[in-house]
Chains A and B, each alone.
Chain A
Amino acid sequence: MKPGKPNLQLVDAENQANIESKEAASSLDHHRIIQVDGVNRIVDVAGEPLQILHEVDLRVSRGETVAIVGSSGSGKSTLLGLLAGLDLPSSGKIELAGEVISAMDEDARAAVRASNVGFVFQSFQLLPNLTAAENVALPLEILGKGEATALSAEILKRVGLEERQTHYPNQLSGGEQQRVAIARAFVTKPAVLFADEPTGNLDKNTGDLVADLLFELNAENNTTLVLVTHDSGLAARCDRQVGMESGRLSEKIAS
């Protein structure tokens, strides 16, 4: 990655040192892209502290696909937000792509996200005023890449929406919108893809097609996939499943 600011490089250098010392400690670290140690998340609800995550530990290797499963309100999405650096833990440490994002300020985390992370959301999160192609090109433009138009056209073709490039989100079906979102997620060739209930808003058939596409692209790009779902079928397609219950994480045995 190439951070844009000198002060960021200082932080990077520090992290690099961290990583190097860790590498010496464990050869497994070499393949590790996400490492979560003792993370707690406590929020204030009507003046009372509410603990959403309890001492969460998690390790994800490069290229691995991991499903976080659990019922509504178990804390899956909170964990996902923390893993992606959208929020900070109350305590504990989170490393993403070799950076200790739990110690970074918001802008530094944004820089990490820009170059390493892609997202797919349950509610698609496409900008309503942008066409499919423009939505896909957005992360490239944030990265300042020149060939945004060509790359977005290419990947839209890959997800089968070649004909719908100039359509606006409200002119697309839910499944098509999610395919645009997947194209947007992969267009920067991120190291990690976070998906939050990617098929939650879709019917079974469409959901299956979207999931197929997600896994295909994942395999093609050798991306690490972390997805949050309560769909056991979808979870079963992952290399590994972890269960979340009342803010505590437990490793599930693949069935």
Chain B
Amino acid sequence: MTLAQQLRFAPRLMWREWKSGEFTVLLLALIVAIASHTAIGHFSDRISRAMVTNANNLIGGDLVFSSSRPISAEVRQQAEQLGLKSAETQRFMTVASAGDEIVLVSVKSVSAEYPLKGAVRITDELFGPEKSVTSGPSRGNIWLEARVLQTLQLELGDKIQIGDSTFTANRILTYEPDRGNNFYSFNPRVMIAKEDLAATNIVQPGSRVWYRQMFAGNSDAVESLSEWLENHAEPGQRIRNLDEDRPAVSEALSKAKQYMGLASLLALLLAAVAIANSGRHYSERHYDTSALLRCLGAQQNDILRIYLIQLCLLAFIGGILGNLAGWAAQGGLFMLISDLLPENLPSATLTPAASGMALSFIVLLGFTLPSVLRLKSVSPLRVLRHDLSPYPLSALLVYGGAAVMVMMLMWFYTGNITLTLSILIGSAIVIIIAMIGIRLLFAAISWLLPSFPLRLRAGIRNFLRRRREAVSQTMAFGLTIMAMLVVVFLRTELVTTWQGTIPDDAPNHFVLNIQKDETADYEEFIQSKNIRADQLYPVIRGRLTRVNDKPMVEHVSKEERRHESLSRELNLTWSPTLPPDNKLLEGEWWDGEATSGQITKVSVEQQLAERLAIGVGDRLTFFTGDRDWEAVVSSIRSVKWDNFNPNFYMVFQPGALDDLPTTWINSFYLEPTRKKQLVDMLKQFPSITLLEMDAILNQVKTIITQVTLAIESILLFVLAAGFVVTLSAIQSSMNDRLREGALVRTLGADRKLLKINQWSEFAGMGFLSGLIGVAGAEIIVAQLYQRIFELSYVPTWWAWLFVPLFSALLVGLAGVISSRKILLQPPMQSLRTLRA
């Protein structure tokens, strides 16, 4: 046959077989594989882009460049060339006045594009309902925090003076998307339009102004701008992106991405098992066809090409259908959880669709080719002697080939060689141990067979007789269960860890600037209102100037000089005890207060100590107000920055800093329904600064909910894939079972006996698979915990009992359900159909 003839003949032959359902199982396995791949691909792609966008809302852009001098036009031009959107803000401190009242405020002027990401939230009345807007105030208007109104004793609509200009106070500002974590130094915020800034005549050469330029757009462009800025930044200028600014969020995101990568990988592995299974089945069912075609004169290469053409067609169809199903599934998923998602969800990209299509070919050809190659070597003599089967392929070729395929796929898919090798080595160990284990078990069972109840023996003998097939089916179920367990174990662990990061009663309010003489009254107020509050921390502002008498400029490298701990004043505190959530890593905590004449001890946060190359025993010089003072490092400690409590880089021994200017800070949790009590607090303590953290807390919680949801839905896909694998594996031995069942019934066995046989066979297989699955999952999860997720691993003992029993039930049920045809179909019909 010429290639053209083959191209015409193969689809026709396929179409005829298609009509009779020959391809259903294989195609189904392929569709499930591609659908779960593309659905997970689209879903995690879109949701992780949404999460990044949402998280970027917290810094107001994808990239933020801040400077103590006006930012040059060159930077903006560069951004424009790269196609990035940009917005700018200026921040400075000044006095706002109304009538006789004055207050120190932090003014922020914003350009028309502000905010690039997220939204500003405002209210029309004090502690009233918030609404989100995506612009700043219009010209002549000013938005201000509630406490400015309180201090100046104003109502909305009144006039307020800043520099040479008069503004109308028309909204209360409750939330800025780019406020971030740095709220200690805030004086109450007021916001004006950038165009109004010049007229105030406040910003003069030499004034202290913080300039910020925010950028948003395509991630490649952001990346190149970031690089460009790195090379052009001057001292006092800083580039910030998400990773740097919100370690907790970016950590959650990166773990979620790793998890999704893993879940898709396991879905893929399941698919591979299913496809290899149905591929082998398909090929075995075509020995006769192949022999007949050869007998009628087709050549070996004709056979090979005909089946290759069919496989390619099948891969194409499976790729298309799988993509459609995956697309529909992710659409449905997004609809289900639309309440939790940002309104403008990023649209799907072509990448998952294209990779799904490619995967369809790779997986189908890769995992069925060894079986299909055997079709080529079927002897035409098989038409006369049915027992002639093609020579078995070498196990090395089949399993070695599959292992290499899987490894390439995993590597390509996750881009993570550690992950790939962990899973691969784990699986290899499991497979080898399981193979030996199953063989030993089979030997033990056949030795024990005479002592089994008579009614069970036939089923078990069945299982033993199909040893080869039983081993591979047990392995397939075992791997399936293993993959699903890995996903379940990791999900549980990750979700618990994340949800633990922010308890429901995490402090949602911060109080700054409590004066020394107010602390007693303040504590009484908190107690009388029954508010759950943390301890009060004293705060001293100071700048770290020297380490061991060496100026910081000489002590640290050029990059570290830009660290915010050096570029601005630090919040310093003292405490008799180690603050909660802090862990002592090195050195010792002090006992009691510092005595006069002794140098003060200080405990330094670990990451800062690392960056600034500070160790226990180093002498640090600080500058506060008008004088230098010294402390010696007595310990290094870790800090949980994301616990929403006041956290400090430097904690001092009490007693030594009493004479430095000090204010106190506090954090507490207040239910949203009790917000009105804040008005009482502001009335009694007009000079305090009250920060509401609900918005940020909610944002972080939303991110965690999204991540959790993504993970749970991905779990569903993996479970669905696993179930189809189970069914396809059982189905592939169905013909033999049908024929045998029919024979046994013809010979007089009743249905009850057959049913018991089926149950004992499938449940036995399920139990063994469950054991393999648990063992494998434990090995792999232990590896992953240690190497990838950096979590400590505790074996899940309950699984060892529960999973094998559950899997015995499940496989038993699936087996019996799909074998019911054996019981229902008249034996004559089975024999005749299978004969034809």
A113 touches B384 (CB 8 A): no
Interface size on A, as a range, is 35 or more
Among candidates B13, B297, B835, residue contacting A113 with C-beta atoms closer than 8 Å: B297
Number of B residues whose C-beta is below 8 Å from A?
Answer: 35
What are 13 pairs between A and B in contact, CB < 8 Å? A86-B383, A107-B300, A107-B301, A110-B298, A111-B297, A119-B383, A125-B288, A129-B20, A129-B22, A139-B296, A142-B296, A142-B302, A143-B297
B contact residues around A169 at 8 Å (CB): 836
Contact A144 B381 (CB under 8 A): no
10 smallest CB-CB distances across A and B, nearest first, come from A114-B297, A129-B20, A107-B299, A113-B297, A129-B17, A144-B5, A86-B381, A86-B380, A139-B296, A169-B836
Residues in chain B near residue A113, CB distance under 8 A: 295-297, 380
Assembly CA distance A110 to B293 (angstroms): 9
Q: Which of B264-320 contact A (CB under 8 A)?
A: 288-289, 292-302
Q: Are A86 and B384 in contact (CB under 8 A)?
A: yes
**What is the CB-to-nearest-CB distance from A68 to chain B, in angstroms, rounded to a whole number?**
13
Task: For chain A, residues 42 to 98, give those with C-beta under 8 angstroms from any C-beta of chain B.
Answer: 77, 80-81, 84, 86-87
A99 interfacial by beta-carbon distance below 8 Å: no
Contact with A along B1-19 (1 / 0, CB 8 A): 1100100010011001101
Q: How far is the CA of A117 from the CA of B380 in the complex (A)?
A: 13
B17 to chain A: which residues have CB within 8 Å? 129-130
Interface residues in B11-38 by Cβ distance below 8 A to A read 12-13, 16-17, 19-20, 22
Are B12 and A110 in contact, CB atoms less than 8 angstroms apart?
no
The answer to whether A121 has its CB under 8 Å from any CB of chain B is yes
Q: A170 contacts B836, CB within 8 Å?
A: yes
**Chain B residues, CB < 8 A from A141:** 5, 9, 12
Q: Point out the residues of chain A lying under 8 angstroms from B294, CB to CB.
A: 106, 110
Within 216-249 of A, Cβ neighbours of B (below 8 Å) are at none
Distance of A128 Cα from B19 Cα, bound (Å): 12
Is A115 positioned at the interface, with any CB of B under 8 Å from its CB? yes
Given contacts A81-B381, A112-B297, A138-B296, 5 further A-B contacts (CB under 8 A): A87-B379, A127-B288, A139-B296, A170-B832, A177-B836
Taking CB as reference atom, which chain A residue is nearest B20?
A129
Query: Whole-angstrom distance from the CB of A231 to the nearest CB of chain B?
Result: 18
**A-side contacts of B9, CB under 8 Å:** 141-142
- Which residues of chain B in 380-399 are interfacial with respect to chain A, using CB atoms and an 8 Å cutoff? 380-381, 383-386
Contact A77 B384 (CB under 8 A): yes
For the complex, what is the distance from the CA of A81 to the CA of B19, rounded to whole Å? 33
How far apart sit A86 and B298, CA to CA, in the bound complex (Å)? Answer: 12
Chain B residues lying within 8 Å of A111, measured Cβ to Cβ, are 297, 299
Q: Does A168 contact B (CB under 8 A)?
A: yes
Residues of chain B lying within 8 A (CB to CB) of residue A86: 295, 379-381, 383-384
Residue ranges of A at the interface with B (Cβ–Cβ < 8 Å): 4, 77, 80-81, 84, 86-87, 106-107, 110-115, 117, 119, 121, 123-131, 134, 138-139, 141-144, 168-170, 177, 196
Whether B381 pairs with A127 at a CB distance below 8 angstroms is no
With known contacts A86-B383, A125-B383, A126-B836, A114–B298 Cβ distance under 8 A: yes
Q: Is A170 touching B833 in the complex (CB atoms < 8 A)?
A: yes
| Nearest chain A residue, comparing its CB with the CB of B289 | A127
Shortest beta-carbon distance, A122 to chain B, in Å? 9
What's the minimum C-beta distance from B281 to chain A, rounded to whole angstroms? 15
CB pair A144–B2 under 8 Å, yes or no, is yes
Contact among B1, B384, B836 for A144, CB-based, below 8 A: B1
B20 and A142 within 8 A (CB): no
Given known A-B contacts A86-B381, A86-B384, A125-B292, A106 and B836 have beta carbons under 8 A apart: no
Complex interface: chain B residues within 8 A of A119 (CB):
295-296, 383
* B603, chain A: closest CB distance, angstroms: 78
Residues from 565 to 617 in B contacting A, C-beta threshold 8 Å: none
Asked if A77 meets B836 with Cβ closer than 8 Å, knowing A129-B22, A139-B297, the reply is no
Least Cβ distance of B290 to chain A in Å? 11
Within 8 A of A (CB), among B385-421: 385-386
